[in-house]
Amino acid sequence: MGKLTSTSYTTGAFNAGMLMLRLALGGLMMKHGYDKLIHFSQYKTQFMNFLGMGQSLSLSLVIFAEFFCALFILIGLFTRLATIPLIIVMCVALFKSHNADFLGEGEMATLYLAGYLSLLFIGPGKISVDGMMGK
């Protein structure tokens, strides 16, 4: 019972927790990006034209973030750098697409945004390519 209520943690537990966070955020987001990647022609006709960039370019940037950056997070390579496009995509999804409805339609974007911000601040942990390279 003492361990469950303790606020201390070991380095191994911290690194395992960061691994689980990266696997969950990366794997779940890759599913979204992969769907957009294989159905590009269907999505581009109905996708948001963000900042006047055009629907195809906006969708391509989202696919880059949701699939390729999520893959980098999954393996722990360039983790902090890979979170930046995903943070931008989640902010656009939350504030533009879901009108900042944190607890309603934008709940999923809020959860992803919180996770990616945590990874940006904390880093990938030692059980990652970045951690093994000593970054």
Predicted confidence (pLDDT) per residue in 95-118, tens digit? 988 888 888 888 999 999 999 999
Positions in the chain whose pLDDT score sits under 50:
none
pLDDT score at 96: 87
Query: Domain residues for 124?
Result: 12-133
Whether residue 93 is contained in a domain is answered as: yes
pTM of the model: 0.89
Mark 51-61 as b/e (b = at least 16 C-beta within 10 Å): eeeeeeebbbb
Please choose, from the candidates 118, 92, 93, the residue with its C-alpha nearest in 3D space to the C-alpha of residue 108: 93
Residue at token pair 């999804």: 93
Assess if residue 62 is contained within a domain.
yes
Task: Please check whether residue 96 lies inside any domain of the structure.
Answer: yes
Q: Is residue 3 part of a domain?
A: no
Q: List, in order, residues 6 or more apart from 67 with CB less than 8 Å away.
A: 30, 33, 34, 36, 37
Query: How many domains, in total, are found in the chain?
Result: 1
- Residue 7 falls within a domain, yes or no? no
The answer as to whether 4 is a domain residue is no
Residue 2 is assigned to a structural domain of this protein? no
Task: Report if residue 86 sits inside a domain.
Answer: yes
* Secondary structure letter of residue 45 according to DSSP: T
